[in-house]
Amino acid sequence: MLDAPVDAEVKARREADLRRAWETPKGWRYWSAVNNTEVGVWYSLTAFFFMLCAGVLALLMRIQLAVPDNDFLSADRFNQFFTMHGSAMMFLFAVPMFEAVSILILPAFLGARDMPFPRLSAYGYWSFLIGGIFVLGSILFNVAPSSGWFMYPPLATEQEGIGPDIWLLGLSFIEVASIAAAVELIVGTIKCRPPGMRINLMPLYAWYVLVVGVMILFAFPPLIAGDFLFELQRSMDWPFFDPDRGGDPLLWQHLFWIFGHPEVYIVFLPSIAIAAMIVPTAAQRPMVGYSWIVLSAVGVGFLSFGLWVHHMFTTGLPSLSLGFFSAASEAVVIPTGVQIFAFVATLMVGRVTMSQPMLWIAGALAIFTAGGLTGVMVAIAPFDWQVHDTYFIVAHLHYTLFGGMVFPIIGGIYYFYPFITKKKMSDRLSRWAFWLTFSGFNICFLPMHLTGLQGMPRRVVTYPEAAGWDVLNMVSTLGSFIVAAGILVFAWDLLRPKGRQPLTERNPWNAGTLEWSHDVPEEAWGVRSVPYISSRYPLWEQPKFLERFDDGKFYIPDAPEGKRETIVTSAVDAVPQAVVQVTGPAWVTLWAAAFTGGAFILPVFKFYWLSAFSGVCAVACVIYWLWTSTAQVPKTPMRDAGLGLRLPVYVTGPKAPGWWAVFITMLGDATAFASLVFGVFFFWTARPDFPPEGAALPDMMWALLALLAFVVAWGATVAARELNRGGRQGVARWCIVGAVVATLAALGGMWLAIVLPGLQPETHAFPAVMYALTVWTSAHCVLAVVMLLYCLAGSVFGKLTQLYDADLRNTTLFWHFMCLSGVITTLLVGVAPRLM
């Protein structure tokens, strides 16, 4: 079948259909596009732009520090600058850049037509843009946050002005967008691989996407939970971090670093991923030690969650935990080393030819390794006591971040540029950019190790001449401008018009992985046909691959209904399961993002009602978007997928990408909740006055009634799913109504339990924590009601039927988590305080 010729007329017709289905909107409608190629490019360029902004702040700081007793910047400005520089680099550049690049190229790696939820990508992008402009823009109005990128209380809780609120709310908003993108990337890797691409044939990049996506999923929620508590303290004066009223600033440090340390690896692993694609191409041979690399990547991801305490070595922890976290911090060197050695081995056994991207990768390896070495030093607690909060740390963190992130990303851009534009970037400019950046970087940051050892603290606006740090600082400043020159050369090469430059040939680096099968840049359909994969480097190892691919001889080479479709396969073995529709262009994603932004941003200015209104509008937009896209009963249940395969066009339950998306989102959500629970146990064990002597305790009876109502609501939802599946839709609808009523009852019971006994959240951390748990779970109750009503409407209007029940199954899945957190909340509120 694969060798039979394809009729030219059929081929042309299929191509025309595909072209029509995947057409990019023209004119101003272009901005309603949702396809990964458009969104990915906007996303990457925006992240790059934010990086340049953060870089300008760095240069201004370096000017200030060039000479002693300088007054180029005021102290307050300087504080805003380093806070913004650090926060923007981490939240607006490092993480989003990875997600942006992945959205752009992952479908090509997987031979998919698009990401599974294109509108979600677009929503994530617009949220990122709005949030980023808001957070970064604050610097122009001189109101930016200024207490450092980790916002330690009490400094940040006491601070006047809206700076900390901008940080807490603006960045929470961006974190939500980051999680949305992570969900999309994880589901894409699990469910949208081409037939035959078993999990052990996945390109290494996809493995890293999976690992990093999962890390984002578990690392960001603790920070969101922390932000939530923090903002409650700032706006409502609930004293979570105030020791005078039973709070504890260390709780913030824990929550921040449970996020903050994995974050370092979230930033660094994607670069390894890029290197893992470039290295085999440069060596022209398959990667050595594929399984070892995968294992170590998973190992690093896992270990990185056990290290956070090494950022708190100076807070007076018991020496047992010092020893443990110190050892664990050293242990992470092993899996990191395995990956780097595998790369070096591949390069040694291959014949390395390619220079442009490889140069940057080599620079990255050198710089990152140097940063890793100082990391090993500061992981030893007594050494850290000496250099904590000095320029030694500034040097260390820039070596790891610059070497681990900026260099590989630039290398990756050189490598993938021809894939996106069919042009190459300039060899000559690349060399200039590299050597300027590389030498400038070392001139800037190498001396900082010394300034640090000589005692210069970080985050100081200036220093006296007598300290003797002036020469080293001047050198650093010169270096920073050399880096800037290098980055500018790179940016120029990236953005300069290349109209007259000839197109490159297809697969210019002679790579072996699937993404290079793309040929025609103007065709927006992604892949001409979804291939069958039987090797890790199909372009090297599968005979006649490109020919068959181009002729559309593999799966879904057409779009008979003019719809955008992609293939869904099973999670481990990539057995084809369905051809599903993906969503097309829409403005509603932009609106949804704008209203979500309103909900997060308006409270900064104390417009609480407007914010609530904006939140309602955001939910309305999302409902409209789902109602008009996924909630569609297909006309024909099966479709010819090519190669003699017939596949359903609708799947529900664990086969469906949507089910996975809910499951994964709920894992993240449960992690945020678990962080709040961690807070309860933290106070319980760390504070003798939790609850304080003679304090009012929540009412046990109402809490237990609420617990009961949660269980009933859960049972009714499960019953609705089963009855609907059994064809008894009428009863199923009543069950849904029952679930709604029970949820509202649970909501009421929870509030009565804390309001009736007269708990006052402003007085002490104990009632504040009880309130916080209740607020969190209440918000989920409201969401649960919305989801149930959505299902009810779907059932009434014929969008949710016996066979097409994905919405109800997803809602039930949500309810499993909801019920669990409801039960835990009511037990913690109603029962636990009596045991403390």
Yes or no: say if 804 and 647 are a contact pair by the CB < 8 Å rule: no
261 lies in the site for Cu ion, by CB under 5 A: yes
* 549 contact, one of ligand HEM, Cu ion, none, CB 5-8 Å limit per kind: none
Residue with the closest Cβ to ligand HEM?
Answer: 86
Of 392 and 416, which has the nearer Cβ to Cu ion? 392
571 SS3 class: coil
CB of 55 to ligand HEM, least distance (A): 6
CB of 155 to ligand HEM, least distance (A): 12
Of 328 and 667, which has the nearer Cβ to Cu ion? 328
* 218 contact, one of ligand HEM, Cu ion, none, CB 5-8 Å limit per kind: none
CA 669 to CA 818: how far, in whole Å?
A: 10
CB of 473 to ligand HEM, least distance (A): 10
CA 466 to CA 132: how far, in whole Å?
A: 41
Q: Which amino acid is at 798?
A: G
CB of 211 to ligand HEM, least distance (A): 19
Residue span binding Cu ion (CB under 5 A) among the ranges 79-87, 107-115, 260-268, 291-299: 260-268
Of 215 and 530, which has the nearer Cβ to ligand HEM? 215
Of 310 and 780, which has the nearer Cβ to ligand HEM? 310
CB of 598 to Cu ion, least distance (A): 35
* 61 contact, one of Cu ion, ligand HEM, none, CB 5-8 Å limit per kind: ligand HEM
Q: Is 700 exposed, middle or buried (0-12, 13-18, 19+ CB in 10 A)?
A: middle
Of 473 and 825, which has the nearer Cβ to ligand HEM? 473
CA distances (Å), origin 248, targets 164, 251, 428: 18, 6, 56
Q: E strand or H helix at 218, and its extent?
A: helix 204-236
Of 85 and 518, which has the nearer Cβ to ligand HEM? 85
Residue span binding Cu ion (CB under 5 A) among the ranges 257-265, 277-285, 372-380, 759-767: 257-265
DSSP state of 98: H
* 776 contact, one of Cu ion, ligand HEM, none, CB 5-8 Å limit per kind: none
Which pair of structure tokens corresponds to residue 153? 């209380």
Residues in the chain: 836
Yes or no: say if 311 and 249 are a contact pair by the CB < 8 Å rule: no
Of 166 and 406, which has the nearer Cβ to ligand HEM? 406
CB of 3 to ligand HEM, least distance (A): 51
- Other C-beta atoms closer than 10 Å to the C-beta of 505 total 10
CB of 406 to ligand HEM, least distance (A): 5
Of 480 and 583, which has the nearer Cβ to ligand HEM? 480
CB of 301 to Cu ion, least distance (A): 14
CB of 72 to ligand HEM, least distance (A): 13
- Other C-beta atoms closer than 10 Å to the C-beta of 314 total 11
CB of 380 to ligand HEM, least distance (A): 22
CA 444 to CA 81: how far, in whole Å?
A: 18
* 364 contact, one of Cu ion, ligand HEM, none, CB 5-8 Å limit per kind: none
Residues 6+ apart with CB under 8 A from 3: none
CA 311 to CA 308: how far, in whole Å?
A: 6
Binding to Cu ion in span 562-621, by CB under 5 A: none
Of 143 and 478, which has the nearer Cβ to ligand HEM? 478
* 62 contact, one of Cu ion, ligand HEM, none, CB 5-8 Å limit per kind: ligand HEM
CA distances (Å), origin 189, targets 167, 185, 253, 570: 32, 6, 33, 11
Of 118 and 163, which has the nearer Cβ to ligand HEM? 163
Q: At what angle do helices 249-283 and 333-349 cross, to 10 degrees?
A: 10
Of 193 and 261, which has the nearer Cβ to Cu ion? 261
Q: Distance of alpha carbon 745 from its chain centroid, rounded?
A: 35
Q: Which residues of 60-99 are buried (b: 16+ CB within 10 A; e: fewer)?
A: bbbebbbebeeeebeeebbbbbbbbbbbbbbbbbbbbbbb
* 261 contact, one of Cu ion, ligand HEM, none, CB 5-8 Å limit per kind: Cu ion
CA 633 to CA 619: how far, in whole Å?
A: 23
CA 636 to CA 658: how far, in whole Å?
A: 20
CB of 467 to Cu ion, least distance (A): 29
396 lies in the site for Cu ion, by CB under 5 A: no
Of 119 and 310, which has the nearer Cβ to ligand HEM? 310
85 lies in the site for Cu ion, by CB under 5 A: no
Of 445 and 660, which has the nearer Cβ to ligand HEM? 445
The size of the interface with Cu ion (CB under 5 A), counted in residues, is 1
CB of 414 to ligand HEM, least distance (A): 18
Residues 6+ apart with CB under 8 A from 82: 57, 61, 148, 149, 459
Which residues on adjacent β-strands are paired with residue 645?
A: 642
CB of 454 to ligand HEM, least distance (A): 15
Residue with the closest Cβ to Cu ion?
Answer: 261
Full 3-state SS string of 45-62? HHHHHHHHHHHHHHHHHH
* CA-wise closest residue to 227 among 785, 559, 604: 604
Of 366 and 783, which has the nearer Cβ to ligand HEM? 366
Which residues on adjacent β-strands are paired with residue 640?
A: 646
CB of 159 to ligand HEM, least distance (A): 14
CA 433 to CA 812: how far, in whole Å?
A: 54
Which residues on adjacent β-strands are paired with residue 646?
A: 640
CB of 332 to Cu ion, least distance (A): 9
Q: Is 803 exposed, middle or buried (0-12, 13-18, 19+ CB in 10 A)?
A: middle
Of 64 and 743, which has the nearer Cβ to ligand HEM? 64
Of 54 and 747, which has the nearer Cβ to ligand HEM? 54
CB of 608 to Cu ion, least distance (A): 36
- Nearest-10 Cα torsion for 813, 819, 824, 827: -170
* Phi and psi angles of residue 203, each rounded to the nearest 5 degrees, phi first: -60, 145
- Using CB under 6 A as the criterion, which residues of the chain lie in contact with ligand HEM when the complex forms? 55, 58, 61-62, 82-83, 85-86, 89-90, 93-94, 148-149, 394, 397-398, 401-402, 405-406, 444, 458-459, 480, 483
Of 458 and 563, which has the nearer Cβ to ligand HEM? 458
Site string for Cu ion, 473-512 (x = CB under 5 A): ----------------------------------------
- Nearest-10 Cα torsion for 613, 617, 622, 624: 150
578 SS3 class: strand
* 395 contact, one of ligand HEM, Cu ion, none, CB 5-8 Å limit per kind: none
Residue span binding Cu ion (CB under 5 A) among the ranges 10-18, 254-262, 320-328, 462-470: 254-262
* 212 contact, one of ligand HEM, Cu ion, none, CB 5-8 Å limit per kind: none
CB of 409 to ligand HEM, least distance (A): 10
Q: Is 546 exposed, middle or buried (0-12, 13-18, 19+ CB in 10 A)?
A: middle
360 SS3 class: helix
- Other C-beta atoms closer than 10 Å to the C-beta of 715 total 16
Q: What is the DSSP string of 670-702?
A: HHHHHHHHHHHHHHHHH-TTSSPTTPPPPPHHH
Q: Which residues in this chain contact Cu ion in the complex, by CB under 5 A?
A: 261
